[in-house]
Amino acid sequence: MYTVLESIGTANPAFKSSQSDVANFMSQVEGVSTPIRSRIAEIYARSGIEYRHSCIEDFLLEPEQFQFYPKNWSLKPAPTTAFRNEHYQDNALEIAERAALEAIAQANLEVSAITHLIVVSCTGFTAPGLDIHLIKRLGLSPNVDRTLIGFMGCSAAFNGFKMAHSICQSNEQALVLIVCVELCSLHFQPENSLKSVVINALFADGAAAALFSSASPEEAQGKLAYTDGYSTLVEDTLELISWTISDTGFVMGLSSNVPKVIAKNLPDYLTAFLARHKIEQESLDFWAIHPGGRQIVDQIQADLDLSSDLVRDSYEVLRQYGNMSSATILFILKRLLLKHQTGLGYQNGIAMAFGPGLSIESCLFQQVPAY
């Protein structure tokens, strides 16, 4: 049996801002020193991002119209974690449902056929969780098996892929729906630091859903199948990426050394993974690289000598949407899956992302041969 990637759906909140709009908003926040304020426009302009979506409209408004933040440019008193989490509960389900419905419609499969639901998120908590609410909103069977993968950051979707693969390899009737939903903008922290400016310049909101099925060789031929996943933790890097809970939201820690550490460790990691399948790097005809920031993709492209075509989709998703944490990789894979289904016919492709740990996660997709 093969684990076939059938379809991917995506969705974003209603409020779309240009990167310059958000930079202008952040430039007006009080309490930021003049030297740091003077860098905001440059940092935002060099991010590789043109547009982002948010569940918060305030980034397009004046203080007297604010709904999320206090009606002043100090943004104080800062919204509490409880207040932010209420907004998560109000907004996450809607875009998660839209992404899931799109994936189901594209696959032309009956909702009743879905056997498993995996929900991935690190930007909010609720119980009953999004998994239970999605079962009811989508009309899934109340007997569907469900799993929640939480607080694993930008690479979390890969743990969902691994779980879906295990399910499909052990159950010939399996049809697994994975939903990743992140509302990163709820946790923007207007701190007086360059690190805060960089983090606020990158992250955005979005949801994506993928359907994986267990298929026989005859059913799967010509389709893209998940072959294998591979992960590693890089030694002595625990402090490079963090995601902690404070009284005023979740606080991200992101070191400027992340791109260099990834680049240093990626070649040996990639060689070990591909050797498991007797594949050379040159045999990979698509790359889905999570754009945690533009510098990460720049560094990987340069160090692995990848063509512009191979990284175009990663840059384009970053440009149109920003970094949506765990959902981002599915936005990229959606573009690549469409190309495969409309005649490009990829043979071997790799997807990868990076998260707290520092962890490197990747997976291999291959076209199922004709039988």
Res 370: pLDDT: 84
288, amino acid identity? A
Spatial contact of 28 and 73, defined as CB atoms under 8 Å apart? yes
**CB proximity list for 275: less than 8 A, separation 6 or greater:** none
Spatial contact of 202 and 322, defined as CB atoms under 8 Å apart? yes
Spatial contact of 5 and 212, defined as CB atoms under 8 Å apart? yes
**CA–CA distance, 315 with 288 (Å, rounded to integer):** 10
List the structure tokens of 331: 């936005």
b/e map 214-239, b = 16+ CB within 10 Å:
bbeeeebbebbbbbbbbbbebeebee
Res 344: pLDDT: 80
The candidate with the shortest Cα–Cα distance to 63, out of 98, 110, 28, 15, is 28
Q: Domains of the chain by range and CATH?
A: 224-367 (3.40.47.10)
Res 371: pLDDT: 75
Burial (0-12, 13-18, 19+ Cβ within 10 Å), 130: buried
The torsion of the CA quartet 273, 278, 280, 285, rounded to 10 degrees, works out to -90
- Per-residue pLDDT of the chain in tens (371 residues, 90 and over written 9): 999 999 999 999 999 999 999 999 999 999 999 999 999 999 999 999 999 999 999 999 999 999 999 999 999 999 999 999 999 999 999 999 999 999 999 999 999 999 999 999 999 999 999 999 999 999 999 999 999 999 999 999 999 999 999 999 999 999 999 999 999 999 999 899 999 999 999 999 999 999 999 999 999 999 999 999 999 999 999 999 999 999 999 999 999 999 999 999 999 999 999 999 999 999 999 999 999 999 999 999 999 999 999 999 999 999 999 999 999 999 999 999 999 999 888 999 999 999 999 999 999 999 999 87
Is pTM, for the whole model, over 0.85? yes
**CA–CA distance, 19 with 25 (Å, rounded to integer):** 10
